[in-house]
């Protein structure tokens, strides 16, 4: 089988496994009353989602981890290698960030504080895992440092690679988490980005990275089976934090992280909307005596909801933008 055929076969297998595993997980989450908490200052239409099961990222992380470990184990006794040891690093990042999300989701639902882990603790844990991943990419996997569009050479950044990699891993982990606010939005954006990087990996001959990406693509499609509007469950921090971190690691493994802000334009824009809204409000309050807002509400998807777009319109239009920028990003990466 060709590289592409194996990658697509893994995607199909991962999709089936996720869909089969989905209903039992839903029953478990409902049994333990793992219902979503809704922001009281959010759009009123979201109040109907109160109690929808969260922590649905388990539906993605567990099948991907199982497939990756089984195929790596099988390669030790089989005639050919289906997945290389290199994918154990992004798989480890996926699992570790999911564990942070599980603790945060559980604390938010069962603890006295509805926001889960403190921002400082979450950031500290993310930074520690990101350092481990960046160190592994630099010293053990010898990942390409940087490819720029239009150039056919690798640019070396030296030890700066480690802090840059840490910034990308932590940054995109939180960016996908911020984007996860509407039914299907984070899932569709993530699956588009992983398809893009899976394609880039195939074109660069990075077989194992491509297969890891498409295994995630299949699991994400399986998750979206339950997450499209009206959602039966949400991915929660368990899924959002882990997907963003894994996406950044994959981009770093290909060396094509310069186009990541283009391929993942929606998470970047959504995060920027939050980063701009707060200081603008504080600045205008200092100048005018009352705070003003750049957007009707941040993150950005809520601004468009309050501007009259339906939830489905926001998700579909953001996804269309994501598809276009993903194609542009792939074109730039292979130019």
Predicted TM-score (pTM) above 0.85: yes
Task: Round the average pLDDT of the chain to a whole number and report it.
Answer: 89
In the chain, DSSP finds a helix count (H) and a strand count (E) of 12, 0
Across 117-135, average pLDDT: 94
The answer to whether residue 129 scores a pLDDT higher than 50 is: yes
Q: Is 253 exposed, middle or buried (0-12, 13-18, 19+ CB in 10 A)?
A: buried
Structure confidence at residue 118 (pLDDT): 85
Structure confidence at residue 110 (pLDDT): 55
Positive or negative: CA dihedral 329, 63, 115, 134? negative
User: Three-state DSSP class for 233?
Assistant: coil
Across 271-284, average pLDDT: 92
Structure confidence at residue 200 (pLDDT): 97
> What pLDDT digit, counting tens, does each position of 307-319 carry?
999 999 999 999 9
Q: Work out the number of other CB atoms within 10 angstroms of the CB of residue 155.
A: 12
User: Three-state DSSP class for 300?
Assistant: helix
Q: Which H helix or E strand runs over 308?
A: none
- What distance in Å separates the CA atoms of residue 36 and residue 65, rounded to the nearest whole number? 25
Using alpha carbons, list the distances in angstroms from residue 317 to 82, 189, 197: 37, 11, 21
Instruction: Place 53 in a pLDDT band, splitting at 50, 70 and 90.
Output: confident
Helix ranges (DSSP H) in 255-310: 260-263, 265-288, 300-306
The answer to whether residue 78 scores a pLDDT higher than 60 is: no
Cα 184 from chain centroid (whole Å):
13
> What pLDDT digit, counting tens, does each position of 165-183 carry?
999 999 999 999 999 989 9
> What pLDDT digit, counting tens, does each position of 179-218 carry?
998 999 999 999 999 999 999 999 999 999 999 999 999 9
Instruction: Place 90 in a pLDDT band, splitting at 50, 70 and 90.
Output: very high
- What distance in Å separates the CA atoms of residue 169 and residue 148, rounded to the nearest whole number? 19
Looking at per-residue pLDDT, the higher value among 75 and 145 belongs to: 145
Instruction: Place 113 in a pLDDT band, splitting at 50, 70 and 90.
Output: very low
User: Tokens representing 54?
Assistant: 């969260």
Listed in sequence order, the residues at least 6 apart from 185 whose beta carbon sits closer than 8 Å to its beta carbon are: 179, 266, 301, 314, 315, 318, 319
Structure confidence at residue 289 (pLDDT): 82
């Amino acid at each position: 089988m060709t590289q592409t055929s194996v990658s697509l076969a893994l995607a199909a297998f991962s999709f089936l496994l996720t869909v089969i595993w989905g209903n039992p997980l839903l029953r478990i989450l409902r049994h333990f009353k793992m219902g979503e908490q809704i922001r009281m200052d959010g759009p009123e239409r979201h109040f109907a989602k109160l109690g929808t099961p969260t922590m649905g990222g388990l539906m993605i992380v567990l099948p991907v981890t199982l497939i990756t470990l089984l195929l790596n184990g099988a390669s030790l006794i089989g005639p050919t290698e289906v997945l290389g040891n290199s994918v154990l690093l992004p798989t480890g990042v996926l699992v570790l960030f999911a564990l942070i999300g599980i603790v945060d989701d559980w604390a938010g639902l069962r603890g006295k504080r509805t926001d889960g882990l403190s921002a400082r603790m979450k950031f500290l844990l993310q930074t520690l895992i990101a350092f481990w991943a960046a160190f592994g990419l630099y010293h053990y996997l010898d990942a390409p440092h940087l490819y720029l569009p239009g150039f056919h050479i690798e640019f070396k950044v030296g030890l700066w690679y480690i802090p840059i990699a840490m910034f990308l891993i932590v940054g995109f982990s939180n960016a996908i988490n911020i984007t996860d606010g509407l039914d299907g939005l984070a899932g569709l954006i993530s699956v588009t980005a992983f398809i893009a990087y899976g394609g880039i990996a195939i074109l660069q001959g990075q077989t194992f990275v491509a297969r890891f990406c498409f295994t995630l693509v299949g699991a994400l499609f399986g998750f979206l089976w339950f997450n499209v509007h009206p959602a039966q469950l949400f991915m929660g921090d368990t899924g959002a934090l882990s997907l963003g971190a894994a996406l950044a690691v994959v981009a770093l493994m290909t060396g094509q992280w310069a186009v990541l802000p283009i391929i993942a334009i929606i998470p970047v824009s959504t995060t920027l909307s939050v980063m701009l809204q707060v200081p603008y409000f504080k600045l205008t309050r200092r100048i005018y005596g009352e705070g003003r807002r750049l957007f009707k509400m941040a993150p950005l998807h809520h601004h468009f909801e309050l501007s009259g777009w339906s939830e489905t319109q926001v998700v579909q239009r953001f996804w269309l933008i994501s598809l276009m920028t993903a194609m542009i990003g792939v074109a730039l990466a292979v130019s």
